[in-house]
A and B are shown apart, each in its own frame.
Chain A
Amino acid sequence: MSPVSNTLRWQRVEELFYAALELDPAARSAFLDATCGQDLVLREELESLLRSSQHSLNFARKAVVEVAQQQSNAHVRAGERIGAYRLMKVLGKGGMGTVYLAARADDLYEQRVAIKLMHPGYAPAESMRLRLGEVLTGNGEL
C-alpha cells in the first residue's frame, strides 16, 4: 500500500474506533456491519483494537516505573562521594564497570581523576564496590 493510502486507512480506523467506543458494546457489531461493509480486513482491525481496549496497559506503565527504580538502585550515583572524591560524570561504561570523572571533594588540591566502579553484579555490597574502585590516572584523562 502506498504511504498516502496507508495514512488514509489509519485515519479511517481512528474515526471508526472512536465512534465504536462511544457505543454500547452490544451495538458495535451492527455499527461495524454498516461501516466496514465488505472490507473484512478493516473490520478485523477494528474488532481486535476494540478487544484490546478492554485491557489495561497499566502493567506496562508499572514496568517502566520498576525499571526506573532498578536503574536508580543499580548505579553508584554521580554526585556521590567516594572517599575523598566526588563523582562528576560518567566517562564510559564497560562490561564490568563504569568509569567516572571525579574531583577532590575536600578541596585539598585541584585534582581530577577517573574512578572505575564495578557493576553491582560483580560486587554486590557497597563496601565491595568501594574496594574495587580504582584511581586510573591523576589528570582526568584516560
Chain B
Amino acid sequence: MAASSAEAQLVTRLLQEWRNGNNHALDEIMPIVYDELRRMAARLLAAEKPGHTLPATALVHEAYFRLVDADIAWQNRAHFYAIAARVLRRVLVEHARTRSRQKRGGGAEKIPMDEAIAIGLEASAIVVDLDEALSRLALRDSRKSDIVQLLFFGGLTYEETAEALGISPATVHRELKLAKAWLHRELAQSSA
C-alpha cells in the first residue's frame, strides 16, 4: 500500500490484538481505519474527475459503522482492504437498489442500455447488474471477482490491488482483461 511497511505492520498488529479481545487496540486502530476508508472513498469519488472530490462523509460513515459492528477475524492490512472494499460495495449496491426501485416504480421492465443512459436510470441499474454479475463471477473465479471489487468499489490502484491479493501487478492486468470481458458479456445480456 502507499503507507510504509512499518505502518502496515502496526496496522496488522493492532488488528490482531483487537481480534484477540484487546479493546485498547480498537481505540488505536479506529482512527486509522477511518482514515483509510476516507482515502478509499475519496479516491472512488475522484475516479472520474481527478482533483474534484466531493466529501464522501456519508459513504465513509456508513462503511465505518458496518466495519466496527461486524465481528471480523482480522488477519492483516491486506485483509482489511478486501473487507473494506466489500463493505463499500454493499453500501453502494443497497443505495443503487433503493434508487432503482424508486425510479422504476412497481412494474420493473427491462429497457435497452443506451435508452437507460439517456433517461438517467442507468447508474443505479448498472451497479445492481454489476453486483449480480460479480457474484456470479465469484462462483467461477473468486480472484477475478476480488480484483474488480478492489478496483471498482474499493478505489484501490492496480499496485495496491496486487498487494492486497498477494499477486503481481502484471497478473492483475492480465486477469482483469478476462474479468472485464466476462462482465461486459453478462451486462450486455442483462440489459438486452
Binding site for B on A (CB under 8 A): 6, 10, 14, 17-18, 21, 48-53, 55, 57, 59-80, 89-90, 121
Contacts and interface: CB of A to CB of B under 8 A. Distances in A.
A140 B62 CA distance: 19
B174 interface: yes
Interface in B137-192: 140-141, 152-153, 174, 177-178, 180-185, 187-188
9 A-B pairs closest in CB distance? A63-B126, A53-B181, A66-B123, A78-B61, A75-B58, A77-B57, A52-B185, A52-B184, A52-B181
Contacts of A72: 45, 54-59
Contact of B178 (A18, A74, A121): A18
B115 interface: no
A121 B177 CA distance: 39
Q: Binding site of A, secondary structure by majority: helix, strand, loop or mixed?
A: helix
A10 B142 CA distance: 12
Contacts of A70: 95, 99, 123-124
Contacts of B95: 67, 70-71, 74
Nearest to A62: B48
Nearest to B117: A59
A67 B102 CA distance: 14
B91 to A, nearest CB: 7
B92 interface: yes
Contacts of B65: 78, 89-90
19 contacts: A18-B178, A49-B178, A50-B181, A52-B184, A55-B184, A55-B188, A57-B183, A59-B122, A60-B127, A60-B183, A63-B126, A64-B92, A64-B127, A67-B123, A69-B45, A72-B55, A74-B95, A75-B58, A90-B61
